[in-house]
């Protein structure tokens, strides 16, 4: 239960006392985490307005921008995820929540184009239906941080077609069904392999408010060529990541800040023996990669350690409840 505080008298509020009074009235909330989140949000928002001497017109423009984000959003278009991505917030939140011990595979942005209807395929399956795409064979393993293969990991994989669009960005997706995406499972040796196409760089959707904002900021809207992966298994920390092609013109200027050096890979060519072994085309592109997953327990421990250190640095007296900080008021 929240400590019962007397409700503040909300009268004659000023530039200087509006913040503590807003926080005081919100402090009646009996959820300590929500209370803490709201108090920090109000404090930062109010400071932002005071520090920038925010004008009424600017605030209305910001609110209209948010309305525009809502209006353009749909089942297959999520402008608020895009906004979070271009502000660097998605990457920041992923890094806080999925800390990686050395040598484990780093995370990257999820983006708005993962779906839950990808076909389940056995290893060797071809997830591409794009005749224009350059064929790619991917041979991968999933291991733990001790190098032991992990069986039974569910892996979602998705990429654009050769025109740089995800299936959901095309008209008629409902009738045609999913393409350039699949779900598979690692075998007893932690292996999975599949066929797709060589990824291409593409612009994030930029015909809406987020695109206009990028333009005003003098930023481009391109992502370097990549393939998305999501790994899930009970007892393991979910890994959402992507592999990026070395040499892409946008390798060091990704519009959504997703690239990490350890995720930049080089493509080879499939030789005759590999083509025969994997029923692939000789001369197709070849991607080989070993992914390293972290246990849920290790990720939780590391996240708690990082949180404790960060909060101490901020001079805050906090405790962790369910791995989330709340003020330590006892
Ligand atoms: C993507 O890689 O699919 C993506 C990520 C962020 C924004 C838009 C697209
Ligand atoms: Fe993508």
- Give the residue from 214, 161, 149 showing the smallest Cα distance to 187: 149
Pocket test for ligand 1, best of 73, 76, 112, 241 (most atoms within 8 A of CB): 112
Nearest-atom index, ligand 1, CA of 223? 2
Q: What percent of the chain has pLDDT over 70?
A: 98
pLDDT at 7: 76
User: What pLDDT does residue 163 have?
Assistant: 96
CA of 156 to the centre of ligand 1 (A): 15
DSSP letter for 262, please.
G
Residue 242 Cα: closest atom of ligand 1? 2
Tens of pLDDT, residues 271-317: 999 999 999 999 999 999 999 999 999 999 999 999 988 888 888 78
Looking at residue 144, what is its pLDDT? 97
The confidence score (pLDDT) of residue 178 equals 93
pLDDT at 49: 98
CB 166 within 8 A of CB 117: no
Q: Name the CATH topology of 79-294.
A: Protocatechuate 3,4-Dioxygenase, subunit A (2.60.130)
User: Tokens for 29?
Assistant: 């909330």
Residue 156 CA to residue 190 CA, distance in Å, equals: 15
pLDDT, position 79: 94
- pLDDT attached to residue 4: 56
With the most atoms of ligand 1 within 8 angstroms of its CB, the residue from 85, 201, 226, 254 to mutate is 85
Full DSSP string of 298-325: HHHHHHHHHHHHHHHHTT--EEEETTEE
Mean pLDDT of the chain: 94
Residues 256 and 223: beta-carbon distance below 8 Å: yes
Model pLDDT, residue 330:
61
- Ligand 1 centroid to Cα of residue 34, in Å, is 29
What pLDDT is recorded for position 221? 97
Dist. CA 242 → ligand 1 center (Å):
10
% of the chain with per-residue pLDDT over 90: 83
The rounded distance, in Å, linking the Cα atoms of 186 and 193 is: 9
Q: How far apart are CA 241 and CA 226, in angstroms?
A: 10
| CA nearest ligand 1 atom 6, residue | 111
Query: Nearest ligand to the C-alpha of residue 226?
Result: 2
What is the residue with the minimal CA distance to atom 5 of ligand 1?
Answer: 111
* Helix H or strand E segment including 22: helix 18-26
Segments making up each domain of the chain, as ranges? 1-54, 79-294, 302-330
Alpha-carbon distance of 25 to 7, in angstroms, equals: 6
The residue whose CA is least distant from atom 3 of ligand 1 is 111
- Give me ligand 2 centre to Cα 20, in Å: 43
Ligand 1 mean position to 5 CA, how many Å?
45
Using CA atoms, how far apart are residues 211 and 79, in angstroms rounded to an integer? 10
pLDDT of residue 34: 96
CA 160 – ligand 2 centroid, Å: 7
What is the phi/psi pair of residue 142, to 5°? -120, 125
- What's the distance, CA 125 to chain centroid? 26
Q: Calculate how far, in angstroms, residue 182's C-alpha sits from the geometric centre of ligand 2.
A: 14
Extract the residue ranges of the chain whose pLDDT is less than 70: 1-5, 330
DSSP assignment of 192-261 equals: EEEEEE----EEPP-SSHHHHHHHHTT---EE-SEEEEEEE-TTB--EEEEEEETT-TTTT--TT----G
Give the contacts of 77 (CB within 8 A, at least 6 positions apart). 112, 205, 208
pLDDT at 97: 92
Q: Which residues line ligand 1 (CB under 6 A)?
A: 82, 85, 109, 111-113, 204, 223, 256
Q: Whose CA is nearest to atom 7 of ligand 1?
A: 111
pTM of the model: 0.92
């Amino acid at each position: 239960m929240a400590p019962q505080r007397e409700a503040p008298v909300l009268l004659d509020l000023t530039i200087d006392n509006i913040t503590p009074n807003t926080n005081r009235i919100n402090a009646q909330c009996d959820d300590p985490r929500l209370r803490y989140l709201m108090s920090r949000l109000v404090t930062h928002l109010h400071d932002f307005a005071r520090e920038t001497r925010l004008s009424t017109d600017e605030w209305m423009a910001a609110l209209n921008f948010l309305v525009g984000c809502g209006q353009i959003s749909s089942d297959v278009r999520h402008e608020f995820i895009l906004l979070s991505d271009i502000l660097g917030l998605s990457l920041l939140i992923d890094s806080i929540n999925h800390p990686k011990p050395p040598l484990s595979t780093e995370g990257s942005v999820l983006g708005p184009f993962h779906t839950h209807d990808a076909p389940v395929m056995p290893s060797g399956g071809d997830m591409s239906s794009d005749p224009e795409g350059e064929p790619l064979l991917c041979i991968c393993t999933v291991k733990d941080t001790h190098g032991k293969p992990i069986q039974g990991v569910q892996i979602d994989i998705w990429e654009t077609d050769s025109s740089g669009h995800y299936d959901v960005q095309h008209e008629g997706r409902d009738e045609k069904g999913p393409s350039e995406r699949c779900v598979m499972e690692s075998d007893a040796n932690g292996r999975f392999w599949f066929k797709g196409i060589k990824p291409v760089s593409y612009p994030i959707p930029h015909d809406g408010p987020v695109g206009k904002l990028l333009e005003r900021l003098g930023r481009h809207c391109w992502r370097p060529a990549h393939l998305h992966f999501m790994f899930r298994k009970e007892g393991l920390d979910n890994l959402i990541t992507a592999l990026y092609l070395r040499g892409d013109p946008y390798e060091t200027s990704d519009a959504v800040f997703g690239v990490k050096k350890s995720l930049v890979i080089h493509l080879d060519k499939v030789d005759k023996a590999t083509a025969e072994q994997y029923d692939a085309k000789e001369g197709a592109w070849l991607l080989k990669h070993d992914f390293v997953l972290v246990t849920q327990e290790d990720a939780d421990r590391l996240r708690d350690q990082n949180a404790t250190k960060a909060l101490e640095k901020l001079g805050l007296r906090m405790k962790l409840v369910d791995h989330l900080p709340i003020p330590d008021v006892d």
